[in-house]
Amino acid sequence: MRYRLCSTRSISWLRVGASATATALALGFASPAAAAGTVKGNQKCRTGVGSQLSGVAKTGMISQEKCYGASAKANVTSEICTMPDSLPFAISEGGKYLVAQDKAESKLITATKPMCVAADAAETLDNYANGDTGDTYPNISSLLGGSADYIIGTDDLGGDKAKILCQKTIAQARRMIATKMLSEAVACQKTQDKAATLSDFGPLSMSPDCLMLTGNVTGVIGAQNAKVSAKCGTLTGDQVGACTPLPICLDDAAVALGRNLALAEYPGQTCEGTVTPAGRTATVSLQAPTGVALGGADVRVVYPHFQAGVPGNGTEDGVENAIINTPVGAFYNATDHDGALDVNLAFSPAFSGSGVAFAVQMDKCENLSGGFCSVKTTEACEQNKDCAPHCLENAYGGTANNTNVYCQLDTDCPVVPVPNPQGLIRKCVCPTCSLKKCIDGSAKCLSNEDCDANATNNKKRCSGDSHCNGGSNAGLTCTADANCPGSTCGTACLIDTDCSAVGKGVCIVGDIAGGTYCIPTESCIAQTEHCSVSQYLGCGKPSDAACPAGEDCSTQAALTTCTVVDALDEYANAVDGVTCTLNVTEP
């Protein structure tokens, strides 16, 4: 039997990102937003969200700049400046960032006359965990911290005034570019909200695309680049501990920061696209230190929320019901923050050793893995062997445009033309075979050398066929293509069996191949990877653009992680060294 924990807790925990207290092992739950508000009430709330949460983000960046200045003055590293939700950071900048959060929370939610009245703005508030816009603060802090670490860095500049000035300029440029991108996205969303119906107050609009790079943003980028160039002079990013190359990395990452802040301000309950209920399971196992019996644990599961999601939000029943496979007798509760799920467990009997602590049944909007075959690009696949055999013919521009004929035998493939100046081969090949072709389609190959015109082993033909295939010397004896104007010499081959199968000896060095690079016949090209921070951006397809500076192209499995935030032994004493592992599966 499974049990749920009932408890209370204040929103301040969300603001500072602290874990559940070791003695309580419990989160506080506010009541979810009520259903059916008004268009006017939602519009007012959305306007407030755009202004107040953007103000929080801007204040956070200004506070980071103050922190960097204090660190430079003290000749210490600026690592705390990348942790805006920490106490040392608050001390360094006078607590202004937390004050900004409190003011925004008051104006939006807790004031006597808030901008977001639950009864009037239910559709908007329903996008936030527990109907509270303050749930976005940890996400904002994470984005500010990560971007500062990449763009500005954490180096101790040793009191060097030129380097300090350069770092300060980079930090200011980051803020100016990011806030302009954010304000443009917010203005776009405000325009959409003016004509919205009750069903439209969901995540940030992507149609029209409110993340579009506008002329106003590019104008700010140009102005800030000029300032960085003037203040940094010949200093490089490496020399001041910042990203490199400047200013390209700064521009790219600052724009990405603005876009991701906009997405954080206007979240959505579910993943983007066609939802498959319970289409994915994330199983979390705990590993306790030897000899330690756990009485409870707080675990955070992070997941790519554009591609997968937990039904509901905050502490709604859908979130609680998504937790399965807890140990017998365990009590639990769960809170979803749209991209992060906090699960709090109390074990009875105590949990020892290692094993499954719980699993999360998630909705999915995109398959965990897989893609399309490189030749038949409409053919879905999970791995190379899923791509059907195709006839190996000529290829143009590095793609196998003419190899879409399914086959089982060589004779299933089109007959080679006569004359055959390109030395085409009539052969049925499969994705798992070793057969390959030169990227320009001029020859078959086993390695890049086979396509290198300067290599000694790149010209192959059957030893039992030394006659011109066509042209003015058709049928005459030859030793090289040069002996056959307008045609080729002998039967082209890749391996000995290509010749022995037709009674023409073995494959020898001849005069058939020539080209540049060797590519596999066909492969399964995965198309479900996404950028590590800007997860709305796909990066798995060949046509996808590169991820913004400072981000990696990651699989959804890699973007789904778990962390043990707190753990207690059976006597309610805090325990260190408890770890977790996570395994993601799909039916």
Q: pLDDT for 56-108, tens place per residue?
A: 999 999 999 999 999 999 999 999 999 999 999 999 999 999 999 999 999 99
Q: What is the CATH number of the domain that holds 332?
A: 2.60.40.680
120 and 218 both lie in a single domain:
yes
d(CA 66, CA 53): 20
99 and 152 both lie in a single domain:
yes
Task: State residue 435's pLDDT score.
Answer: 55
121 and 165 both lie in a single domain:
yes
Q: Is residue 406 part of a domain?
A: no
pLDDT at 258 over 60: yes
Helix (H, G, I), strand (E, B) or coil at 401: coil
d(CA 286, CA 357): 6
d(CA 115, CA 98): 20
Task: State residue 28's pLDDT score.
Answer: 33
238 and 327 both lie in a single domain:
no
Q: How many structural domains does the chain have?
A: 2
pLDDT at 483 over 90: no
* Mean pLDDT, range 122-151, rounded to an integer: 94
239 and 187 both lie in a single domain:
yes
d(CA 391, CA 404): 7
Q: Is residue 446 part of a domain?
A: no
Considering only 126-140, 161-175, 356-370, 510-524, which range has the smallest mean pLDDT?
Answer: 510-524
Task: State residue 191's pLDDT score.
Answer: 96
For residues 400 and 260, the model is more confident at 260
Task: State residue 486's pLDDT score.
Answer: 79
pLDDT tens readout for residues 538-547: 988 777 888 9
Helix (H, G, I), strand (E, B) or coil at 450: helix
pLDDT tens readout for residues 494-509: 677 778 888 888 887 7
Q: Which one-letter DSSP state was computed for residue 288?
A: P
Task: Report the predicted TM-score, pTM, of the whole model to 2 decimal places.
Answer: 0.73
228 and 157 both lie in a single domain:
yes
Q: Buried b / exposed e across 184-208, counting CB within 10 Å, b at 16+?
A: bbbebbbebbeebeeeebbbbbeee
* Mean pLDDT, range 238-262, rounded to an integer: 96
* Mean pLDDT, range 546-564, rounded to an integer: 94
pLDDT at 419 over 60: yes
Domain enclosing residue 233, as ranges: 39-263
Write the Ramachandran bin of 572: left for phi over 0, alpha for psi from -120 to 50, otherwise beta: left
pLDDT at 383 over 90: no
Quick count: other Cβ atoms within 10 Å of Cβ 337? 23
CB of 565 closer than 8 Å to CB of 289: no
Q: Which one-letter DSSP state was computed for residue 410?
A: G
Task: Dump the DSSP string for 317-340.
Answer: HHHHHTEE-PPTT-EEEEEE-SSE
77 and 165 both lie in a single domain:
yes
Cβ-defined contacts of 499-502 (< 8 Å, 24+)? 499/462, 499/463, 499/464, 499/465, 502/462
CB of 431 closer than 8 Å to CB of 445: no
Task: State residue 434's pLDDT score.
Answer: 52
Quick count: other Cβ atoms within 10 Å of Cβ 222? 11
What is the percent of the chain with per-residue pLDDT over 70, rounded to a whole number?
80
Helix (H, G, I), strand (E, B) or coil at 58: helix
| Residue 513 confidence class, pLDDT cut points 50, 70, 90 | very low
Q: Decide which of 210, 228, 263 is a domain's last residue.
A: 263
For residues 25 and 132, the model is more confident at 132
Most confident range (mean pLDDT) of 126-130, 361-365, 410-414, 434-438 is: 361-365
What is the percent of the chain with per-residue pLDDT over 90, rounded to a whole number?
59
pLDDT tens readout for residues 2-17: 333 433 222 222 223 3
pLDDT at 408 over 80: no
Task: State residue 461's pLDDT score.
Answer: 79
Q: What are the respective helix, strand and coil percentages of the chain, to the nearest 5? A: 35, 20, 45
Task: State residue 423's pLDDT score.
Answer: 60
284 and 181 both lie in a single domain:
no
258 and 279 both lie in a single domain:
no
**Distances in whole angstroms, Cα of residue 264 to Cα of each of 196, 250, 520:** 20, 21, 42
Q: What is the mean pLDDT of the chain?
A: 83
d(CA 68, CA 166): 12
What strands lie across the sheet with 518-520, from one edge to the other? 444-445, 436-438, 518-520
pLDDT at 34 over 70: no
Q: Decide which of 263, 297, 316 is a domain's last residue.
A: 263
pLDDT at 393 over 70: no
